[in-house]
Structure 1
Amino acid sequence: MNSSRFQNVTMNLMSGEMLVGQLLGFSPIMTKLHFMTAAGDARKIDMHDIVYIGIHGTAATHPSRMSDLDDLKIITVNLDTFDIYAAPAMSNAPGFYAYLKDQSLPFERIFFYQHGIRYQEKPERLGDLLIDQEILGYDDLQRALDIQIKSMPHLGDVLKGQGKVSDEDLDEALKTQQLQRMRLGDLLVHHELVTEDDVHEALQEQRASVDIPLGQILVDKGKVEHGHIDNALKMQSRRKMRLGEILLEAKLINPHDLQVALDEQKAHGHRLGEILLSTDVITEDQLLEVLAKKFRLPTVDLDSYPVNPEAATMIDRPIIEKYGILPIDVDKHSLTIALSDPMGLEAYDTISFKTGKKVHEVMVKASQLQEKLARFLKEDFADDQLSCEFLHQDDDEDDEPLNELQITQSAEDAPIVRLVNRIIRGGLRKHASDIHILPQAKKLVLAYRLNGQLLSESSLEKNLSKQISARIKILCGMDIAEQRLPQDGRLILRDGKKKHEFRVSCIPNTFGESLVLRVLNKDAAVDLKQLGLRESDLGQLSTIVRKPYGLLLVTGPTGSGKSTTLFSLLKSIADLPAHILTIEDPVESEIAGANQIQVNQKIGMTFARILRNVLRHDPDVIMIGEIRDGETAEIAIEAALTGHLMFSTLHTNSAVDTIIRLNDLDIPNYLLAPSLLGVVSQNLLKQLCPDCRQPVAEDDEVFSIIRDAGYQRPETLYAACGCEHCNRTGYIGRVMLYEFLAVNDEVRQAIHDGKTGHELQRIAIQNGMVPKAEYALKMAADGIIDHKEFIYALM
Structure 2
Amino acid sequence: MKRIDQRARQALNAISRHDFVASADLKDSISGHSIPREETLAHILGLIPEVAPGQLVMHVGGGSGYVAAVLSRLARRVICVERDPVVAEAARERFFRLGLHNIDVIIADARNPFELDEPCDMVLCTSFVDNQEALLPHLRPDGQLICLEGHAGPVPSLALYRRHGEGLVRERTLGWVDFNRNSEQILIDLGVVDDKTLAAARAEAIAGNCRVLDVLRKKLNLEEADLFRSIARQRGMKFVEVDDLMEQLDFSLYSRFSRTFLDLSRLIPVSLLNQHMVVVTDDPDARTDQLERMSPTQDIECLLVTPTDFRRLWSVLELAVKGNRFVADNTSPGEPVRQSNDLLAKSEDHISPYLVSVYEAILLDAVSEKASDIHIEQYGERVRVRLRVDGDLHDLPQYQLTPRELKGVINVIKLRAELNIAERRLPQGGRSRLRLGESSYDLRIQTQPSLHGEHAVIRMLPQTGRAMTISELGMSPAIGACYTRLLDNPAGLVLVVGPTGSGKSTTLYAGLQTLADDGRRKVITVEDPIEYSIDNIQQTRVRGEIGFSFADAMRSFVRQDPDVILVGEIRDGETALEAIRASQTGHVVLSTLHCNDAVDSLQRLYDLGVHPNSIAGELLAVIAQRLAKRICKHCKQPAEPDPAILRELFPDGPPANFQCFEGAGCQACNGRGTHGRVAIIEYMEVDADIRNAISSQPPVGELRWRALDAGLVTMRDSALDHVIEGLIPLSELPRILPRERMAPEVRGGRRRAS
With normalisation by structure 2, the TM-score equals 0.53
| Mapped partners of 1:527, 1:471: distance in 2 | 36
| Mapped partners of 2:511, 2:630: distance in 1 | 23
TM superposition shift of 1:466: 0.7
Alignment of 1:758-769 (within 5 A): 758-769=701-712
Selected match of 1:569 from 505, 511, 519: 511
Alignment of 1:313-392 (within 5 A): 317-319=254-256, 339=271, 341=273, 370=303, 377-379=310-312
Q: Is the Cα contact below 8 Å between 2:641 and 2:730 reproduced in 1?
A: no
- The DSSP-based 3-state class of the residue aligned with 2:548 is coil
Question: Deviation digits for residues 11-50 of structure 1, max 9, x if unmatched?
Answer: xxxxxxxxxxxxxxxxxxxxxxxxxxxxxxxxxxxxxxxx
Q: Are positions 1:615 and 2:558 aligned together?
A: yes
CA distance 1:306–1:664, shift in 2 (3 Å): farther
| Mapped partners of 1:581, 1:384: distance in 2 | 46
Q: Which is further off, 573-582 or 512-521?
A: 573-582
Selected match of 1:540 from 476, 482, 489: 482
Q: Is the Cα contact below 8 Å between 2:628 and 2:678 reproduced in 1?
A: yes
TM superposition shift of 1:461: 2.3
CA distance 1:734–1:530, shift in 2 (3 Å): same
Q: Are positions 1:723 and 2:661 aligned together?
A: no
CA distance 1:521–1:710, shift in 2 (3 Å): farther
CA distance 1:444–1:651, shift in 2 (3 Å): same
Q: Is the Cα contact below 8 Å between 2:623 and 2:682 reproduced in 1?
A: yes
TM superposition shift of 1:374: 9.0
Question: Deviation digits for residues 662-714 of structure 1, max 9, x if unmatched?
Answer: 11112121111001011111111101123334544466322222222886465
Selected match of 1:553 from 466, 482, 495: 495
CA distance 1:762–1:483, shift in 2 (3 Å): same
Q: Is the Cα contact below 8 Å between 2:254 and 2:317 reproduced in 1?
A: no
| Paired amino acid for 2:679 | M
Selected match of 2:731 from 773, 779, 788: 788
| Mapped partners of 1:367, 1:753: distance in 2 | 78
Question: Deviation digits for residues 503-548 of structure 1, max 9, x if unmatched?
Answer: 1111111111111111113246222222222222222222221222
Q: Are positions 1:774 and 2:706 aligned together?
A: no
TM superposition shift of 1:588: 1.7
Q: Is the Cα contact below 8 Å between 1:500 and 1:521 reproduced in 2?
A: yes
| Mapped partners of 1:764, 1:486: distance in 2 | 43
| Mapped partners of 1:456, 1:587: distance in 2 | 29
| Mapped partners of 2:679, 2:301: distance in 1 | 35
Q: Match of 1:509? A: 450
Rg larger for:
1
Q: Match of 1:248? A: none
| Mapped partners of 1:562, 1:699: distance in 2 | 30
Selected match of 1:456 from 379, 395, 410: 395
- The DSSP-based 3-state class of the residue aligned with 2:599 is helix
CA distance 1:754–1:501, shift in 2 (3 Å): same
CA distance 1:709–1:564, shift in 2 (3 Å): farther
Question: Deviation digits for residues 155-181 of structure 1, max 9, x if unmatched?
Answer: xxxxxxxxxxxxxxxxxxxxxxxxxxx
Selected match of 2:461 from 520, 533, 547: 520
Q: Is the Cα contact below 8 Å between 2:253 and 2:271 reproduced in 1?
A: no
| Paired amino acid for 1:674 | G
Selected match of 2:437 from 496, 514, 517: 496
CA distance 1:736–1:369, shift in 2 (3 Å): farther
Selected match of 2:610 from 667, 670, 674: 667
- The DSSP-based 3-state class of the residue aligned with 2:490 is coil
CA distance 1:756–1:775, shift in 2 (3 Å): farther
| Paired amino acid for 1:583 | V
Q: Which is further off, 584-593 or 449-458?
A: 584-593
- The DSSP-based 3-state class of the residue aligned with 2:273 is coil
Q: Are positions 1:474 and 2:428 aligned together?
A: no
Question: Deviation digits for residues 537-589 of structure 1, max 9, x if unmatched?
Answer: 22222222122211001111112211111112122223344332110111122
Q: Match of 1:589? A: 532
| Mapped partners of 1:529, 1:783: distance in 2 | 17
| Paired amino acid for 2:312 | E
CA distance 1:611–1:428, shift in 2 (3 Å): same
CA distance 1:616–1:707, shift in 2 (3 Å): same
Alignment of 1:226-265 (within 5 A): none
CA distance 1:319–1:710, shift in 2 (3 Å): same
CA distance 1:578–1:316, shift in 2 (3 Å): farther
Question: Structure 2 regions of 5+ residues with no counterpart?
Answer: 1-150, 154-237, 263-268, 277-298, 320-345, 739-754
CA distance 1:756–1:550, shift in 2 (3 Å): farther
| Mapped partners of 1:732, 1:791: distance in 2 | 19
| Mapped partners of 1:368, 1:440: distance in 2 | 41
| Mapped partners of 2:685, 2:732: distance in 1 | 26
Question: Deviation digits for residues 286-327 of structure 1, max 9, x if unmatched?
Answer: xxxxxxxxxxxxxxx98579879xx99x879543789xx9xx
| Paired amino acid for 2:583 | A
| Mapped partners of 1:463, 1:579: distance in 2 | 52
Alignment of 1:162-181 (within 5 A): none
| Mapped partners of 1:764, 1:620: distance in 2 | 29
| Mapped partners of 1:384, 1:303: distance in 2 | 13
- The DSSP-based 3-state class of the residue aligned with 1:708 is coil
TM superposition shift of 1:648: 0.4
Q: Match of 1:178? A: none
Q: Match of 1:679? A: 622
- The DSSP-based 3-state class of the residue aligned with 1:573 is helix
Identity of aligned residues (%): 32
| Mapped partners of 2:629, 2:657: distance in 1 | 20
| Mapped partners of 1:712, 1:648: distance in 2 | 38
| Mapped partners of 1:742, 1:681: distance in 2 | 11
- The DSSP-based 3-state class of the residue aligned with 2:582 is helix
| Mapped partners of 1:341, 1:442: distance in 2 | 35
| Mapped partners of 2:318, 2:554: distance in 1 | 42
Q: Is the Cα contact below 8 Å between 1:555 and 1:680 reproduced in 2?
A: yes
Selected match of 2:681 from 728, 735, 738: 738
CA distance 1:375–1:787, shift in 2 (3 Å): same
- The DSSP-based 3-state class of the residue aligned with 2:376 is strand
Q: Is the Cα contact below 8 Å between 1:383 and 1:418 reproduced in 2?
A: no
| Mapped partners of 1:664, 1:762: distance in 2 | 21
Q: Is the Cα contact below 8 Å between 2:498 and 2:597 reproduced in 1?
A: yes
CA distance 1:499–1:478, shift in 2 (3 Å): same
Q: Is the Cα contact below 8 Å between 1:659 and 1:756 reproduced in 2?
A: no
Question: Deviation digits for residues 187-245 of structure 1, max 9, x if unmatched?
Answer: xxxxxxxxxxxxxxxxxxxxxxxxxxxxxxxxxxxxxxxxxxxxxxxxxxxxxxxxxxx
Q: How many residues align?
A: 443
Q: Is the Cα contact below 8 Å between 2:526 and 2:567 reproduced in 1?
A: yes
TM superposition shift of 1:647: 0.7
Q: Is the Cα contact below 8 Å between 1:706 and 1:713 reproduced in 2?
A: no
Q: Match of 2:26? A: none
| Mapped partners of 1:151, 1:583: distance in 2 | 63
Q: Match of 1:122? A: none
Question: Structure 1 regions of 5+ residues with no counterpart?
Answer: 1-149, 153-283, 285-300, 326-336, 345-365, 387-404
Question: Deviation digits for residues 446-484 of structure 1, max 9, x if unmatched?
Answer: 000000111122253222111100111111111111111
